[in-house]
Amino acid sequence: MSAPTLGESPKIIIVGAGLSGLACAEQLVAANHRPIIVDKGRGPGGRLSTKRPPFGPFDHGTPFLTASHPDFQAQLERWIASGQAQNWPCSGGDHVTVGSPHMRTPIEHAAQRLGVLFGSRIAPLTRGEDRAWPVLTETGEPLGAADILVLAIPAEQVAELLATVGGPLAQAASAVRSSPCWTTMVHFAAPLQGEAHILRPKRGPIELAIRNSAKPGRPTGERWVIHSTADWALDHLEAEQEVVTPLHLEALPPLIGNLPAVTASASHRWRYARVTNPHPAPFLVDDERGLAACGDWFGPGDAEGAWLSGDRLGRHLVQCLG
């Protein structure tokens, strides 16, 4: 993927405005490229989604961020310095970073700055006669013909978009598998017993439970977010949320004692929550066809890995384009 074959000002379209797609876009924009960024959602989210049911906002995606790579640690520090995130020295010895006032705040700011086109669900891809990629929404609205098309979406969705054109990216994406997760958001009438803000059970249907209201800048009240194990979510994949919520609540008392009254609750299914066999590379590029992919299905398969994947791909594209 080089400048001579793509022209002086290649048109770049990025599909997906989560951590990875926005990190890629930031590098391109810093080098004076102007990518078009589209996302099927109504607003920024991905792994850092915040749900807003009638009873208040909940971080129902990634509950907090940690960094093992210095580049991502530096990014967390930039978000903290700008007021978009805060350190959360929660009880139990965990020291993590959370978006402020919501987990999605950092990517919300980036999406506004980069001008993301939300509500744009992309139709399966075909390649034009001029070797560009005509990108259309499912309703037939043209978004442009991309010289470079970046797919910053789950592997399963990459495979679906490339089903009719095939190629190495489609092959790689088709080999990746993700497991689901059910997340339950609960508002209790009174505080739960104990001081722990993060629970990590060793058995049962719950993998993680977080006292969402203990995070800095959150609304008052006793608010918890419960994440299921992958096996439990697979067993209940097509269940209704009205079935899932009480089952999660039944599993809480052994972890934290008797529960106060529940004033409101809701559940959300993440079909592609955890990547079980991520691709070992940081990103993939099909130079011949002007395609690239990044996301949480590369590297460690978590939020940090998603950001690093997009950041690395953005740097790579900048270097190739000169």
pLDDT at 94: 66
131 vs 73, more confident: 73
Render pLDDT for 197-255 as a digit per residue (tens, 0 to 9): 999 999 999 999 999 999 999 988 999 999 999 999 999 999 999 999 999 999 999 99
Give whole-number Cα distances, 266 to 89, 249, 263, in Å. 27, 11, 11
Task: Compute the average pLDDT of residues 42-71.
Answer: 89
Distance CA 290, CA 292 (A): 7
9-18 pLDDT per residue, tens: 689 999 999 9
DSSP string of 41-82, one letter each residue = SSSS-GGG--B--TT--B--S---B---SHHHHHHHHHHHHT
CA torsion angle 247 248 254 259 (round to 10): -100
Domains, the chain, in order of start with CATH, read: 3-88+96-176+277-321 (3.50.50.60), 178-275 (3.90.660.10)
Three-class DSSP category at 290: coil
CA distance 50 to 39: 16
The two structure tokens encoding residue 59:
């971080």
Indicate the pLDDT class of residue 7, thresholds 50, 70 and 90.
Answer: very low
Q: What pLDDT digit, counting tens, does each position of 131-190 carry? A: 899 999 999 999 999 999 999 999 999 999 999 999 999 999 999 999 999 999 999 999
Rg over alpha carbons for the chain, rounded to the nearest Å, is 20
Helix (H, G, I), strand (E, B) or coil at 152: coil
pLDDT of residue 91: 62
Q: Measured on CA atoms in the order 56, 57, 60, 63, is the torsion positive or negative?
A: negative
Cβ density class 115-145: b for 16+ within 10 Å, e for less: ebeeebebeebebeeeebbbbbbeeeeebeb
Distance CA 23, CA 88 (A): 23
State residue 243 phi and psi, 5-degree precision.
-90, -40
Rounded to the nearest 10 degrees, how much is the dihedral formed by the CA atoms of 183, 188, 194, 199?
0
Q: Tell me: the pLDDT tens digits for 90-107? A: 766 667 999 999 999 999
pLDDT of residue 1: 58
Q: Lowest mean pLDDT of 55-59, 68-72, 211-215, name the range.
A: 55-59
pLDDT band at 4 (very low <50, low <70, confident <90, very high): very low
| H/E element, 254 | helix 253-256
CB distance 75 to 65 below 8 Å: no
Handedness of CA 209, 268, 305, 100 (dihedral sign): negative
Nearest to 234 by CA among 179, 308, 194: 179
The angle, 0 to 180 degrees and rounded to 10, between the axes of the packed helices 105-114 and 19-30 is 40
In this predicted structure, what is the pLDDT of residue 52? 86
Question: Strands, DSSP E only, in the chain?
Answer: 12-15, 36-39, 85-88, 96-99, 117-118, 133-136, 142-146, 148-151, 178-188, 198-199, 206-211, 222-228, 262-275, 284-286, 291-293
Structure tokens at 286: 């099909």
